Amino acid sequence: MVCLKKGQGTQIMSKQKKSRVLVAGICISTLLSPVAFEASKGYAAPLEENKGGQLEESKENRLEQRTFHLPGKGSVEEEQKRLKVRYVLSTNEPTGIYAGPNEEIKIEIKGTQSIKAFIGTKSYDEKGFEEFELKPGENNISSSRGGILYFYNMNNDGEVTASVIHGGSHFPLFVLGKHTKKDWDAMLKKYKNPYAVELKGERSLITASPEAVANYMGETDPVELMRLHDKIIRFENSVAGLSEDGIGVSKAPNHYIQFVEKRKPDKDDWMFATHYHTGYVPETMDRVLNIKRLQGDGWGPWHEVGHLHQQAPWFWSGVGEVTVNIYSLSVQRMLGNKSSLEEDGHYKKAFA
């Protein structure tokens, strides 16, 4: 796990040798270039079964979903090997459903392939998640700890339809492309004291407490917020030479980058990147949830997402907190902010 500790920001670069600052500056100037982004081609679409047995988008309840159309995204471990990165991305396809401790959840799988389900969220829950295999047909699962229900279609192709036919309760889940700001406000009003709140973009997934949402989102439009998170992730992909229409090693991963609030942090926790997610102590969630902070002062999230792009062959001793800033500095400039290399006088120090 790599961390950005409290009080750290761009000043971490000043602790490294001047030559490394120069290398980072040169890399950034050569890597930044105009990039065209395209929409995600696959995500869990809201489906329900009509009287004729066909699956179609539910028009009756925009806020709740129990049937999910899950395209195969492949294994996060295989993606890690392909891209030679240090950490795996999120396996989680959110459902907006909370499973209580020992509550039986009945799930029907339509298709010929098995998938996985998880109950629980790393960092949000102290003990992480429990994993279950879901085979075609009916499956009954339960967790002694309870938590958020997720699906994971680790197959390389094909599609599976998963229906939660019994158990669980809903909490706010905002889905970019499906919901509006009006829907979001309705969710927050409808679900009192939910276990969690989640927002899903095309490349991003946020897991936060209702307290963090109330404290930091304010009038932030979730549509614009998730578009910005997706834009940042796609831009960092481009800095790494990846695109969604790429082939082979140049293809961007299609699993989410998950931003998770660590509700009960350890003493030295602040912001960090690790397997499956990036984590944030409660008082730093404004950088994730408030669009103005993310746009102009989001160094923490930009930096942690950068760690998920770092390749293991380039991660030798002393550069772990240097090369990551190729990504965060690139995002800083892309969003129209003045570069910290100039703002904090790093160029002058390097040439002094």
**Domain assignments of the chain as residue spans, ordered by start:** 2-38+218-351, 45-170
- Helix, strand or coil for residue 139? strand
Q: Ramachandran region of residue 329, left (φ > 0), alpha (ψ -120 to 50) or beta?
A: alpha
- The answer to whether 63 and 170 are in contact (CB under 8 A) is yes
How many other β-carbons are positioned within 10 Å of the β-carbon of residue 53? 6
83 residue type, one letter: L
Given CATH 2.60.120.1250, say whether it is the number of domain 45-170: yes
Under DSSP, the state recorded for 255 is: S
Average pLDDT over residues 264-272: 94
Average pLDDT over residues 38-62: 44
The pLDDT tens digits for 222-235 are 999 999 999 999 99
Compute the CA torsion angle 284, 287, 293, 299 (nearest 10 deg). 100
Task: Give the residue among 268, 247, 235 at the shortest CA–CA distance from 34.
Answer: 235
Q: What is the pLDDT at residue 6? A: 65
The two counts, helices (H) then strands (E), for the chain are 11, 19
Task: Give the residue among 113, 105, 130 at the shortest CA–CA distance from 70.
Answer: 113
30 pLDDT above the threshold of 80: no
Mean pLDDT check: name the lowest of 83-87, 127-131, 341-345. Answer: 341-345
Q: What is the pLDDT at residue 34? A: 38
74 pLDDT above the threshold of 60: yes
Dihedral of CA 106/110/114/118: which sign?
Answer: negative
CA separation for the pair 14, 29 (Å, rounded) = 19
In sequence order, the β-bridge partners of residue 48 are 56
- The answer to whether 88 and 253 are in contact (CB under 8 A) is no
Average pLDDT over residues 104-123: 98
The pLDDT tens digits for 304-334 are 999 999 998 888 888 899 999 999 999 999 9
44 pLDDT above the threshold of 60: no
Task: Give the residue among 235, 199, 189, 217 at the shortest CA–CA distance from 286.
Answer: 217
Task: Give the residue among 232, 260, 242, 238 at the shortest CA–CA distance from 84.
Answer: 242
CA separation for the pair 317, 239 (Å, rounded) = 22
77 pLDDT above the threshold of 50: yes
Question: Considering the entire predicted model, what is its pTM?
Answer: 0.85
Instruction: List Cα–Cα distances, 246 to 38, 49, 165, 187, in angstroms.
Output: 11, 35, 38, 37
Given CATH 3.40.50.1240, say whether it is the number of domain 2-38+218-351: no
Strands 45-46 and 105-110: unpaired
